[in-house]
Structure 1
Amino acid sequence: MSVPTTHPFAFDPTYGMKLEQLLAIAPPEAPPGFDDFWAERYRHAIAVDPQPKLRRSKIENPNWHVLDVTYISTGAFQIGGWLLLPRDQEVRRGLVVGHGYGGRDLPDFDLPVEETAILFPCFRGLSLSACPPIPADAGGHVLYGIEKPASYIIGGCVDDLWIAVTTLIALYPWLAGHIGYSGISFGGGIGALAIPFDRRIDRGHLVVPTFGHRPLWLTLPTVGSADSVQAYQKKHGSVLETLRLFDAANAAARIKVPMLVASALFDPAVAPPCQFAVANSLAKFNEIFILDAGHFDYVGSSEQNALLHEKVRRFFKVP
């Protein structure tokens, strides 16, 4: 391992913790009503008819048919994104891919999957799903509706993921029971919150997931979305009551399907203790892949990413 030792940040992105300490982090106690809150959201979300619309995209790729897609999520919110279909293979698996807080400008063409329809939704308020007055920047987006759990935008983004699954099944009914999820950073946190309550998702891959262990998330210095929430809390008072219902580590403890999680030892945007709180909460049969760093270029990143790429290929391989 070669964790970065020089960096431009005013704080230590390892938070003084080694791997052994990170692997010992447990999730906080879940708040009363956690399961009921999410079960009710899920019941509401799967009642939505997504009414997907497809059209040929201007984007072209030699290996994939690229389609622009829109669907309707909760609150009649229109979600935009892309659907990739393999040019020379039948479709036997579905995959929903979430994005980081930088949004998404294009689909990812080098995912190591075959015989798979890949749906790339842009979560509400971001990229193709931008919609004023929701701020399109991470620092503003993460605060939208934070005053109450029912209005918090993170819940809406989880709805968008669930309804992405509904959309794939509406388009390709034979994919029911064979749909996975992959998400990085923001998308990793959204995935951890969504997967345990949706039995239609049969496996998940999360990379440097955020929103884990909210009490820590609210206190550790960062250049990520937590920074604006920490500033908001100093001005307006505690938001922990809301955030405890959106703790990805508590949700991860409820996941029963196979998971592959990549967590970093050094990360200025998503504090490693919060990432490992998510990974450690999963059942022990799952795999934690250790990255030297996240949200930061480092020596050896190409080699580590190649190893992870191969694990992802095997993880989502069609039986």
Structure 2
Amino acid sequence: MSIPTRHPYSFDPTYGMAREALLAIAPPQAPSGFDAFWEKRYRRALAVDPAPVVTASAAVNPRWRVFDLRYTSTDGFPIGGWLLVPRTGTVRRGLVVGHGYGGREAPDLDLPVTDTAVLFPCFRGISRSARPPISPDPAWHVLDHIQSAKDYIIGGCVEDLWVAVSALTALYPALENRIGYSGISFGGGIGALAMAFDRRIARGHLIVPTFGHRPLWLTLPTIGSAQAVQVYGKTHPDVLETLRFFDAATAATRIEAPMLMVPALFDPAVAPPCQFAIANALPRTKFNEIFILDAGHFEYPGQDIQDAVHHEKIGRFFNSS
């Protein structure tokens, strides 16, 4: 174990909690109407024709054929991203990959998956899906329409993921019910919210996911997007009423698909108690695994070793489907 002991932060990114305490954190109770709120949005997203458009990319890779991709999400929002198709073998499964709050400038060409078509969407307002007046800056993006659960941008990003699954299925109809999801940080929180209500996603992999246990998320010091919401909350104390509908830990109690969860013990950007609230919300079954990192959003001794083990687990998890 190599949890960092030296760091530049004015707070303790372990929040004084060891592994055993983190594994005991329970998710918060769902607000009244939580399921109805998301089920209505899911039905709406399913009704969207994504009309995916794929064009050859300038990128060249020996393993993958790389394509630029666009599709239409809810409210007619144009989503940009990439599609990877293996150069050899048969496409037998699909994978949607979400990004962190820093966005994505290129697809990950090092994914340890085989026989898989991989879609990399950029969630609305970010990177290839940037669109004024939405700010791509995480500190402002996370506040976009936060005063209204119906209009909050995080809900639109969840819908972008649901429509990404529809787009991949439209391109490869044989992949129906054979599509997985992998998301990190921001993309991890979006993934938990999406997978709670989308049974088309057959398995999920969430790395240091955010948006878990919003009551804690609003109180624990951080350098991440939660900091902007904490500042906003000082003059808008009712913000929690919106955020309770966007709690990834609450949503995770409803996930039925096999999961590979990857929380961290130390993380200055996404508080570990919030990450573990998501991981702990999942059913304890042989199909779910928690792989714990020493740190997230921070370089640490032994990281290369843990990354190698994690990489191997990703391949085994998705290639076995």
* TM beyond 0.5: yes
Deviation at 1:237, TM superposition (A): 2.8
Post-superposition offset of 1:256: 0.5
Equivalent residue letter for 2:21? Q
TM-score by length of 2: 0.99
Residue equivalent to 1:43: 43
Q: Which letter does structure 2 place at the counterpart of 1:18?
A: A
Task: Determine if contact 1:93/1:318 at 8 Å carries over to the other structure.
Answer: no
Opposite residue 304 of structure 2, the aligned amino acid is: S
Shift of 1:90: 1.1
* Cα deviation, residue 192, structure 1: 0.3
Counterpart residue identity of residue 246, structure 1: F
Between the aligned partners of 1:255 and 1:219, the Cα distance in structure 2 is 26
Percent identity, aligned pairs only, is: 68
CA contact 1:115–1:318 (8 Å) conserved in 2:
no
The answer to whether 1:174 aligns with 2:174 is yes
User: How far, CA to CA, are the matches of 2:46 and 2:320 in structure 1?
Assistant: 26
Matches within 5 A, 1:105-254: 105-254=105-254
**Equivalent of 1:297 in 289, 296, 299:** 299
Q: Confirm or deny that 1:56 pairs with 2:56.
A: yes
Aligned to 2:279: 279
- Give the Cα–Cα distance (whole angstroms) in 2 for the partners of residues 9 and 238 of structure 1: 29
* Aligned-residue offset at 1:12: 0.3
Partner SS, residue 263 of structure 2: strand
Structure 1: give runs of 5+ residues left out of the alignment: none
Distance 2:280 2:112 in 1: 26
CA RMSD in angstroms comes to: 0.6
1:99–1:184 Cα contact (<8 Å) kept: yes
- What residue in structure 2 maps to residue 309 of structure 1? 311
SS in 1 for 2:68: strand
SS at match of 2:29: coil
| C-alpha distance after superposition, 1:55-80 (max 9, x if no partner) | 00111111100000000000100000
Q: Distance in 2 between matches of 1:158 and 1:236?
A: 24
Amino acid at match of 1:207: I
SS at match of 2:319: coil
- Mapped to 1, the partners of 2:143 and 2:240 lie a distance apart of 13
Distance 1:318 1:209 in 2: 23
CA distance in 2, matches of 1:119, 1:91: 13
Alignment deviations for residues 158-180 of structure 1 (CA, whole Å, 9 cap, x no partner): 00000000001100000001000
For 1:310 and 1:318, the matched residues in 2 are separated by 12
Secondary structure of the residue aligned to 1:143 is coil
SS of residue paired to 1:151:
coil
State the SS of the aligned residue for 1:7.
coil
Identify unmatched segments of 5+ residues in structure 2.
Answer: none
Matched letter for residue 279 of structure 1:
A
Correspondences of 1:13-24 after superposition (within 5 Å): 13-24=13-24
Matched residue type, 1:296: F
The alpha carbon displacement at 1:2 in A equals 1.1
Matches within 5 A, 1:88-99: 88-99=88-99
The superposition leaves residues 88-117 of structure 1 with CA deviations (integer Å, 9 ceiling, x where unpaired) of: 111000000000000000000011100000
CA distance, structure 2, for counterparts of residue 29 and residue 295 of structure 1: 28
Give the alignment's TM-score, normalised by structure 1: 0.99
Q: Does 1:25 align with 2:13?
A: no
Taking the aligned partners of 1:310 and 1:231, their CA distance within structure 2 comes to: 40
Q: 2: distance between equivalents of 1:199 and 1:23?
A: 26
Question: Structure 2: how far apart are the matches of 1:243 and 1:276?
Answer: 18
**What secondary structure, in the 3-state scheme, does the structure 1 residue paired with 2:166 have?**
helix
Residue deviations 1:216-252, cap 9 Å, x none?
0000000000000000111233300000000000000
Name the CA distance, whole Å, in 2 between partners of 1:66 and 1:89. Answer: 15
Which residue number in structure 1 is paired with residue 78 of structure 2? 78
d(CA) in 1 for partners of 2:212, 2:156: 18
Other-structure match for 1:8: 8
User: For the residues of structure 2 that align with 1:141 and 1:72, how far apart are their CA atoms?
Assistant: 20
The alignment partner of 1:254 has SS state of coil
The separation in 2 between residues aligned to 1:230 and 1:196, in whole angstroms, is 26
Per the TM alignment, residue 318 of structure 1 is displaced from its structure 2 partner at its CA by 4.5
Specify the SS of the correspondent of 1:249.
helix
- The number of residue pairs the alignment matches comes to 319
